[in-house]
Chain A
Amino acid sequence: MVMLNYVFICFLMLGAVGFAVAPLILERLIAPRKRGRSKGETYECGVLTTGETWIRFRIQYFIYALLFVVFDIETVFLYPWAVSYVGLGGFALVEMVIFLVVLLIGLIYAWATDALKWV
């Protein structure tokens, strides 16, 4: 029964893909297509583009990505806790406070070492 829900979502996904692709096909049929030398150029305010565009990232983005992974996995732990909290006692609350404090220390560490500073 639960699996069927997901199958249904897959059908919806197919429908959504169809909804996205249909106007593109329609456009291919009715819109004008005239290629030109300067039309295919990269649009950077009229100036010809110089140098390589596909460069490496700055390390700053990687740090934010790491932090995101940490906190997103945290929520993976927090969701089951929140769902089953009704059946658990005050002990679960204490445990979760300890977990959150550990995470908060992590955030404070990142903050103190200027990992959160955008340069």
Chain B
Amino acid sequence: MTDWACATLLFAQEIAPREIPWLAWFLWLLIGFFGIFPGVVAYMVWAERKVAARFQDRIGPNRVGPLGLLQPIADALKLITKEDIVPDAADPIVHLLAPVIILVSSFLVLAVIPFGVGLAPVNLPSGLLYLIAVSSFSALGVFLAGWSSRNKYALLGGMRAVAQLVSYEVPQVLSTIPVILFTGSLSLVSMVDRQYEFGWFVFSPPGFLAFVVMTIASIAEVNRTPFDLPEAESEIIAGYHTEYSGMRFGLFFLAEYLSVFAVSCLGTVLFLGGGLLPFPLNRLAEWMGTGDWPAIVVNIGMVSVFSIKVLGYVFLMFWVRVTLPRMRVDRMMNFAWKYLVPLSIGNIVIAAVWFEMVLRDPIKRMAQVEITGDEYIPPGIGVGLKGWIVTGALVIALFLTVLRVNRGSHASKIKEITESPIPLPSEAPALFARAR
């Protein structure tokens, strides 16, 4: 064994939490990262094709294996045996680099997601910040792909993609701030812990609004319908990956579905309580004394609950994809900057109000309980109800205000256009008559 390998194992031992032996930790990282995730993602593609087929009254893949279950393997084999064509005009190095960058970025996003107790591949104290930073790398890869192909459609797709990714990153990042506020930490593990104490964050008016904004922005971040303009096949062939074939195209494909999986995991951890059970069931589990059960049993339960939530989230994305048509470019950009950004900025203030009304007192008392050792008494239902009414009203008011401002600006634009000296088609005959 070389020194370098020894150092790797030592690092693994240092980092591994006490409960799991380091070898298991290391194996989980390797198998989990480069075995389970690509496998899950490959079957997500199969699931999407099946689901979309059902929605469109078709059968979907059913030739390769029972129910078409071997389809992902057949696809991978096909991609790997296809010729990899690089256009003569392209920049060969950047052309090769682009899919690698995108794939690395989508893999690294998964590195901080806590799938269960002590099952976050790396438990970073500033996990969310890291996640946001790494996920925005994919915009770079997309643009490199579009630019290096030296193809007009690819370049159009690349430019559109950067504009879109950059615009939707703002509401996506802003809508995570309420969660950080409620948790008081950037670590995704402590976010799940806080939701264990105070319920899922989606069950509060600011949390719900943030969840909705986050979901929409995430769909745009992974370039899926109705925001799939960067690869709009009816206008610009395949957008930024027009000139990619064979396995390089396969890497783009894998990266796209990996990031769909990653944003679903992120939404689940931030707002849907990670691997926690919903309200009546979690009390039941507590009553059954799951705290004393062996870690592996608890983890199996948590990972199953987590998977169910992620599947639901992914299914929502499939559903949106088969239901909604593609948006127009200007409307898509407007939607980010004129609806989602004001909504999420206002939501930060509402989240602070919710924190002051509902969360501050229990958090303070919980900290005291840890010092004095008294029994912790949860706050009465009245506090939560008051918070719900006030912040709910604020959220509705914010939503209506944003809607009204947009309608007003839209109406004034229409007025401007209709009252401008350019003749309308209906006036054309009269104008012709005058000219004659």
Please give the residue numbers on chain A whose beta carbons come within 8 Å of chain B beta carbons, in ascending order.
Answer: 1-2, 4-9, 11-13, 15-17, 19-21, 23-24, 26-28, 30-34, 39-45, 49, 53-55, 57, 60-61, 64-65, 67-68, 71-72, 75, 78-79, 82-86, 90, 93, 96-97, 100, 103-104, 107, 110-111, 116-118
Q: Is the CB of A12 within 8 A of B129?
A: no
Which residues of B90-128 are within 8 A (CB) of A? Answer: 96, 99-100, 103-104, 107-108, 111, 121-125
B166 within 8 A of A: yes
Q: Which of B111, B123, B181 contacts A82 (CB 8 A)?
A: B181
Known A-B contacts A24-B247, A57-B159, A118-B330; A43 and B151 likewise in contact (beta carbons under 8 Å) = yes
Which residues of B325-355 are within 8 A (CB) of A? Answer: 329-330, 333-334, 337-338, 341-342, 345, 348-349, 352, 355
CA distance in complex: A55, B150 (Å): 10
Chain A residues with Cβ below 8 Å from B159 are: 57, 61
B33 within 8 A of A: yes
Chain B residues with Cβ below 8 Å from A100 are: 345, 348-349
Known A-B contacts A71-B341, A78-B177; A9 and B80 likewise in contact (beta carbons under 8 Å) = no
Q: Which of B11, B185, B348 contacts A4 (CB 8 A)?
A: B11
Closest partner residue, chain A, to B329 (CB atom): A118
Chain A residues with Cβ below 8 Å from B38 are: 19
* Least distance between B99 CB and chain A CB atoms (Å): 7
Q: Can you spell out 5 A-B residue pairs with CB atoms less than 8 angstroms apart?
A: A7-B11, A53-B152, A64-B167, A78-B174, A82-B184
Interface band, chain B? 35 or more
Q: Is the CB of B169 within 8 A of A68?
A: yes
Please give the residue numbers on chain B whose beta carbons come within 8 Å of chain A beta carbons, in ascending order.
Answer: 8, 11-12, 14-15, 29-30, 33-34, 38, 80-89, 96, 99-100, 103-104, 107-108, 111, 121-125, 129-130, 147, 149-153, 155, 159, 162-163, 166-167, 169-170, 173-174, 177, 180-181, 184-186, 237, 242-243, 246-248, 250-251, 329-330, 333-334, 337-338, 341-342, 345, 348-349, 352, 355-356, 360, 363, 409
Closest partner residue, chain B, to A93 (CB atom): B352
Known A-B contacts A26-B80, A31-B83; A54 and B151 likewise in contact (beta carbons under 8 Å) = no
* Least distance between B410 CB and chain A CB atoms (Å): 12
Q: Which of B8, B82, B125, B149 contacts A11 (CB 8 A)?
A: B8
Chain B residues with Cβ below 8 Å from A23 are: 80, 247, 250-251
Q: Is the CB of A33 within 8 A of B83?
A: yes
Q: Which of A24, A43, A90 contacts B87 (CB 8 A)?
A: A43
Chain A residues with Cβ below 8 Å from B349 are: 93, 96-97, 100
Q: Is the CB of B83 within 8 A of A15?
A: no
CA distance in complex: A109, B153 (Å): 33
Chain B residues with Cβ below 8 Å from A15 are: 30, 33-34, 107
Q: Is the CB of B170 within 8 A of A68?
A: yes
Q: Is the CB of A85 within 8 A of B329?
A: no
CA distance in complex: A67, B163 (Å): 11
Chain A residues with Cβ below 8 Å from B155 are: 53-55
Chain A residues with Cβ below 8 Å from B33 are: 12, 15-16
Q: Which of B87, B163, B166, B342 contacts A41 (CB 8 A)?
A: B87
Known A-B contacts A31-B82, A116-B338; A43 and B152 likewise in contact (beta carbons under 8 Å) = no
Task: Give the top 7 A-B pairs by smallest Cβ distance, nearest first.
Answer: A118-B330, A40-B88, A16-B107, A82-B180, A86-B184, A68-B166, A27-B247
Extra 14 A-B pairs, beta carbons < 8 Å, given A5-B15, A40-B86, A96-B352:
A19-B38, A27-B246, A42-B151, A43-B151, A45-B237, A57-B159, A61-B159, A79-B186, A82-B181, A110-B337, A111-B337, A116-B333, A116-B337, A117-B330
Q: Is the CB of A2 within 8 A of B125?
A: yes
Q: Is the CB of A9 within 8 A of B162?
A: no
CA distance in complex: A79, B348 (Å): 11
Known A-B contacts A16-B107, A68-B169; A9 and B352 likewise in contact (beta carbons under 8 Å) = no
* Least distance between A24 CB and chain B CB atoms (Å): 6
